[in-house]
Amino acid sequence: MKLAILSRNTKLYSTRRLVEAARERRHSVRVLDPLRCYMRIDSDGFRMHYKGVEIAGYHAVIPRVGASITRYGSAVLRQFELMGTFTPNPSDAVLRARDKLRSHQMLAAQGIGLPATVFGDNPDDTADLLSMLGPPPHVIKLNEGTQGAGVMLTEKLSASKGVIEALRGLYAQFLVQEFVAEAKGADLRCFVVGGKVVAAMKRQAPKGDFRSNLHRGGRAKGVKATAAEQDVAIRAARVLGLGVAGVDLIRSARGPLVLEVNASPGLEGIEDATGVDVAGEIVDYVALRYKRIAAKRAATKA
């Protein structure tokens, strides 16, 4: 298989591991910086160049595009799709996953559990918006926040209102959720590849915090997700259309609840915590899918 990895930096752990796993399996692999891919769009065909040279003949592409280049990165990924290259995470699925409100709506519509979530635009509606959610504690999350920064816990209604007023004053986008106290500061990252949970880790918040992010001092250890947790993670990835996804769950009294579905989940934390060759799982899945597509194409030609 001739494989491309769309990534801005060849030195990143996840990128390096994917290259390594592909080479071990004797695939040809190249890392392409999506911002150096440029394209011609025409009704008679799609073409792409990279640093002055035509890009052609890639069988599969694994996108590792960061949030900061979502738009351009997904246009490059779509161009690959239009040129007949297989991707485990299509551009439309990546865009869905990046849009928190949209993905929450899509998951809930399929009956997948989430913490109850509200959002609104006008400051005049704040009191009623919070009444739609229920009494505090509340978790307030900035839409652009990651790694736990921008996630706040408010224990009193006056605090929720104060934080929301302050955020509106800064023109920040945010959502408000019920606080799932039973999670006890832990969350569960399920790494889904091709409709299977290939690895899972539990992250535990440091004492005194409810956020389990490793960047906030959380600790990770490999665990086996329960059947119910695996089922929710697999369904969440499928609803968004992702072949590769990091699904974050919290354990609540009413079962596993989805916090987030990440379309470009990092490999370092999960491989360290579990010892699973997650990069190898991804490459094997992509190769298997490509082989099936190639066989089908050959059959229709014959």
Ligand X SMILES: Nc1ncnc2c1ncn2[C@@H]1O[C@H](COP(=O)(O)OP(=O)(O)OP(=O)(O)O)[C@@H](O)[C@H]1O
Would you count residue 152 as binding ligand X (CB under 6 A)? no
CB burial class (10 A; 0-12, 13-18, 19+) of residue 135?
exposed
Would you count residue 136 as binding ligand X (CB under 6 A)? no
Binding-site residue set? 141, 178-179, 187, 211-213, 248, 260, 262
Give one DSSP letter per residue of 98-125, joined into a string.
H-HHHHHHHHHHTT-----EE--S-GGG
Q: How far apart are CA 110 and CA 47, in angstroms?
A: 37
Residue type for position 193: V
- Please select the residue that binds ligand X; options are 21, 107, 180, 214, rule is CB under 6 A: 180
Mapping DSSP to helix (H, G, I), strand (E, B) and coil, where does residue 228 land? helix
Would you count residue 229 as binding ligand X (CB under 6 A)? no
Q: How far apart are CA 105 and CA 113, in angstroms?
A: 11
Would you count residue 259 as binding ligand X (CB under 6 A)? yes
Least Cβ distance, residue 299 to ligand X (angstroms): 42
Q: How far apart are CA 256 and CA 249, in angstroms?
A: 6
Q: Which two tokens stand for residue 219?
A: 């600790």
- Please select the residue that binds ligand X; options are 62, 183, 190, 214, rule is CB under 6 A: 183
Would you count residue 148 as binding ligand X (CB under 6 A)? yes
Would you count residue 103 as binding ligand X (CB under 6 A)? no
267, 216 Cβ separation under 8 angstroms: no
Whether the upstream peptide bond of residue 137 has omega within 30° of 0, thus cis, is yes
Q: Which is nearer to ligand X, 75 or 116 (CB)?
A: 116
Least Cβ distance, residue 133 to ligand X (angstroms): 11
- Please select the residue that binds ligand X; options are 95, 151, 270, 278, rule is CB under 6 A: 151
Task: Please count the residues of this chain forming the interface with ligand X, following the rule CB under 6 A.
Answer: 23
What does the binding site for ligand X look like in residue numbers (CB under 6 A)?
115, 139, 141, 145-148, 150-151, 177, 179-180, 183, 187, 205, 210-213, 248, 250, 259-260
